[in-house]
């Protein structure tokens, strides 16, 4: 089994030799991308390059004021770098071993050494509270270890010589020596760490849709820019300076650069709001993802239950005995730390009048504990089969009925005789049965009911007995909780994922397989957990939620951490996600309305072979007051509507009619301007006012339902635009209005407002009918 001396351990010379050979625990550190790589990847992008080129062209041929649009690009890049560096640091922190030191025997001496210095064959000491930092083979003594964070099994596991103690587990009682056999990357804990140490690509349908739109625009931008430049210089006879500036104005109008910034800010605000509800958001995009989840995988412990047990009922078997007095006496006399005894001690927490002169602590091998009292004799509590032996048959039927509903039943028994060398006394008589069950969180039923009403399918994945988990789930109100399966008897758990609600005895790899199977079926999967055994599944899920009371590893890999470990916070996160998605959709329609009319305008000016009428600074003013400011304000309003349809279709059905009406209005303005003999400067001013007016109408439509603060916002924005014309006329490239210019602008603005409203009504009606038709077919 091992060549290590189980009394003296390795000699210092042997330990040094093995360390030199590389047979050492080490840190198990896995490198992620460097900060330099992150900065380069976020900086060297096509859109950054394009905007920098446009800014340089303007600075060379135009004025500094026309390059102000570059500020948004710096903000977008900075946010992207910040988010990825934060993700890197979270992954770098990931560790499943929290014990800073290990206790080893070398040369017959007990030494305290760093975990990283354990070598293969080291004789490791384990006492209560010690954590295994390497996989070890127990060679002498015995102990109980808590593997709940590793395997999901909530009960302490008894370990005897020949058993393996897994890295990451804790000794809760006893004392033993074990030889280190699984070190570094080969240890159980580090294998999980290695599998989880990767930066998962953010899955955001909203951002994916925005990126798809940006990619589509990028295909058109370069050829359009060259055509506009050619049209301005060689067809319209503009100077190179004017042609470059007008081309840049056309191109920056097509790029919805503020949309990415808007999305980041909205999600950042949501993160702050959730922090007020004791929810830490470690990945902003998970707020959106959780709002789209249709399958939620829960661990029993820490989510449905509190992670502790409680006494729920007592059944007397001997009416002549005082059960409460006896249980109180045992609770005061014993110092066990297992969940069952903790429940007993919490229930019978009074001072005892009886004093024990001998105690026998609980052992997983014995399955009972007890104490001797001079006044009453020996009192024993534990598993009835082990206490009564063959006599247990006399109460077996009663005990089995009493355990209905997945309750754990312990027997209280008494004897007039004393314990013999920690062995059961003679003449044991049963006194009472005590039923103990998991504590169900008070808020769990309401929270589970909420998700059921929202159409979210619940799956309970646990390392505990499936029947016990099923009973707990039924009490908490989980739908189809009677459909359970023992995962240890299933070869490929992913094949039965649709058939069951409760999965018990699930190993960490099976949890991962189950989540992968659900995602492969097209589900958006949420996962909650608190232990090391949950880490792989948490990392794989579309959105993961950890409890603050759980392991550091689970917290590090999760998108959300419930700081009060309160599952009831989940509906608040879902509501916040809905607010974010619905509001960003509304605001995105403003940005893409601008992109639509900018694209159509560029094509229009190429077709009619006229110079582009706008300067970049004018587009910056319109973008800021008619698109940027209102979109940010509207994105922060309350919104609890259900998420319907895809992001792209919802946005485009608003943006396209808005863009079309803007182009029709500008076309009418150009025709009228040429008919009335406007100069290029006058036509540019009129066109800017028409475009701004149509944009304000688009904002007005986006403000539905109207509120007083929205009316105030519109008044302020329109006032700011007029002030820009009155007080900064030259700076923004405007000229004074003539009566003809005022009349033309007014008539076209009113007509465009009516057209915009009509087109929106028609588009929304058609889109709703198509959606309803598809829904009926489905």
- The phi, psi pair for 649, rounded to 5°, reads -65, -40
Complete DSSP assignment for 224-266: HHHHHHHIIIIIS---HHHHHHHHHHHHHHH--HHHHHHHHHH
Query: Would strands 295-298 and 457-461 be described as parallel, antiparallel, or unpaired?
Result: parallel
Residue 305 and residue 179: Cα distance in Å, rounded? 36
CA atoms within 13 A on the CB side of 322: 11
* Cβ within 8 Å of residue 693, ≥6 positions away: 665, 745, 749, 752, 753
Q: Which residues of 486-515 are buried (b: 16+ CB within 10 A; e: fewer)?
A: ebeebeebbeebeebbbbbbbbbebbbbbb
- The phi, psi pair for 154, rounded to 5°, reads -80, -25
User: Among 36, 51, 49, 43, which Cα is nearest to 78's?
Assistant: 43
Q: Are 139 and 165 in contact (CB under 8 A)?
A: no
Instruction: Clarify whether 530 is annotated catalytic.
Output: no
- The phi, psi pair for 528, rounded to 5°, reads -115, 150
The label of the residue with tokens 């625009």 reads 217
User: Among 563, 533, 565, which Cα is nearest to 196's?
Assistant: 533
- The catalytic position among 299, 336, 457, 464 is 299
User: Among 668, 656, 662, which Cα is nearest to 601's?
Assistant: 662
Packed helices 257-275 and 570-608: angle between N→C axes, nearest 10 degrees: 170
How many residues appear in the chain? 778
* Cβ within 8 Å of residue 698, ≥6 positions away: 589, 590, 593, 626, 658, 662, 756
User: Among 645, 629, 622, which Cα is nearest to 725's?
Assistant: 622
Complete DSSP assignment for 307-345: EEEEEEEEEES-TTS-HHHHHHHHHHH----SHHHHHHH
Neighbours of 563 (CB within 10 A): 17
Neighbours of 127 (CB within 10 A): 13
Residue 241 and residue 293: Cα distance in Å, rounded? 53
Distances from the Cα of 149 to the Cα of 188, 220, 533, 706, angstroms: 12, 53, 6, 52
Task: Please list the active-site residues.
Answer: 299
């Amino acid at each position: 089994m091992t060549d290590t001396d189980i009394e003296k351990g390795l000699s210092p010379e042997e330990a040094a030799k093995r360390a030199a050979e590389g047979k050492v625990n080490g840190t198990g550190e896995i490198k992620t991308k460097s900060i330099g790589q992150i900065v380069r990847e976020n900086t060297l992008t096509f859109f950054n390059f394009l905007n920098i080129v446009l800014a340089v062209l303007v600075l060379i041929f135009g004025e500094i004021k026309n390059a102000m649009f570059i500020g948004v690009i710096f903000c977008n890049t900075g946010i992207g770098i910040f988010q990825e560096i934060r993700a890197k640091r979270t992954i770098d922190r990931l560790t499943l071993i929290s014990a800073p030191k290990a206790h080893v025997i070398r040369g017959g001496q007990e030494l305290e050494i760093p975990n990283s210095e354990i070598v293969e064959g080291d004789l490791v000491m384990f006492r209560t509270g010690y954590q295994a930092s390497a996989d070890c083979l127990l060679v002498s003594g015995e102990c109980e270890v808590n593997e709940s964070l590793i395997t999901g099994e909530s009960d302490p596991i008894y370990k005897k010589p020949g058993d393996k103690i897994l890295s990451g587990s804790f000794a809760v009682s006893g004392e033993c020596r074990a030889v280190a056999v699984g070190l570094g990357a080969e240890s159980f804990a580090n294998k999980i760490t290695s599998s989880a140490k990767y930066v998962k690509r953010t899955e955001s349908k909203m951002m994916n849709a925005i990126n798809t739109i940006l990619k589509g625009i990028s295909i058109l931008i370069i050829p359009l820019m060259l055509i506009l430049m050619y049209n301005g210089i060689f067809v319209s006879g503009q100077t190179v300076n004017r042609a470059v500036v007008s081309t840049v104005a056309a191109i920056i109008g097509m790029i919805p650069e503020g949309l990415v910034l808007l999305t980041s800010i909205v999600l950042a605000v949501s993160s702050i709001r959730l922090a007020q509800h004791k929810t830490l958001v470690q990945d902003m995009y998970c707020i959106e993802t959780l709002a789209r989840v249709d399958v939620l995988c829960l661990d029993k412990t820490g989510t449905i239950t509190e992670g502790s047990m409680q006494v729920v009922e007592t059944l007397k078997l001997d009416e002549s005995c005082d059960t409460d007095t006896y249980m109180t006496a045992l609770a005061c006399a014993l110092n066990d730390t297992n969940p069952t005894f903790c429940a007993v001690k919490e229930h019978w927490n009074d001072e005892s009048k009886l004093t024990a002169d001998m105690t026998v602590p609980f052992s997983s091998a014995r399955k009972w504990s007890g104490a001797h009292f001079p006044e009453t004799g020996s009192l024993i509590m534990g598993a009835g089969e082990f206490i009564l032996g063959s006599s247990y048959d006399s109460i077996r039927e009663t005990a089995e009925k009493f355990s209905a509903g997945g309750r754990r039943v312990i027997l209280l028994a008494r004897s007039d005789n004393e314990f013999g060398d920690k062995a059961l006394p003679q003449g044991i008589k049963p006194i009472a049965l005590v039923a103990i069950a998991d504590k169900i969180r008070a808020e769990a039923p309401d929270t589970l009911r909420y998700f059921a009403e929202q159409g979210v399918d619940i799956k309970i994945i646990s390392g505990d007995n499936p029947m016990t988990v099923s009973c707990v789930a039924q009490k908490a109100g989980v739908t189809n909780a009677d459909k359970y399966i023992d995962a240890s008897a299933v070869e490929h758990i992913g094949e039965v994922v649709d058939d069951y609600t409760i999965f018990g005895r699930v190993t960490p790899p099976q949890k991962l397989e189950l989540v992968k199977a659900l995602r492969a079926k097209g589900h958006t999967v949420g996962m909650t957990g608190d232990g090391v055994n949950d880490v792989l599944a948490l990392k794989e899920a579309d959105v993961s939620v950890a409890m603050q009371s759980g392991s550091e590893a689970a917290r590090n890999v999760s998108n959300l951490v419930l700081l009060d470990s309160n599952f009831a916070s989940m509906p608040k996160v879902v509501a916040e996600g809905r607010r974010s998605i619905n509001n960003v959709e509304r605001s995105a329609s403003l940005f893409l309305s601008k992109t639509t009319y900018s694209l159509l305008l560029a094509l229009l000016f190429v077709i009619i072979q006229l110079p582009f009428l706008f300067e970049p600074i004018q587009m910056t003013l319109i973008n800021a007051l008619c698109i940027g400011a209102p979109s940010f304000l509207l994105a922060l309003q309350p919104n609890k509507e259900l998420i319907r349809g895809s992001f792209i279709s919802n946005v485009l059905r608003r943006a396209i009619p808005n863009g079309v009406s803007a182009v029709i209005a500008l076309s009418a303005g150009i025709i009228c301007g040429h008919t009335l003999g406007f100069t290029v400067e006058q036509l540019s001013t009129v066109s800017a006012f028409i475009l701004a007016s149509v944009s304000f109408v688009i904002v007005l439509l986006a403000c539905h339902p109207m509120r007083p603060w929205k009316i105030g916002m519109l008044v302020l924005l329109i006032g700011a635009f007029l002030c820009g014309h009155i007080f900064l006329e030259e700076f923004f490239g405007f000229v004074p209005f003539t009566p003809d210019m005022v009349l033309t602008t007014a008539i076209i603005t009113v007509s465009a407002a009516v057209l915009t409203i009509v087109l929106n009504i028609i588009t929304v009606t058609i889109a709703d009918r198509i959606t309803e038709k598809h829904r009926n077919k489905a």
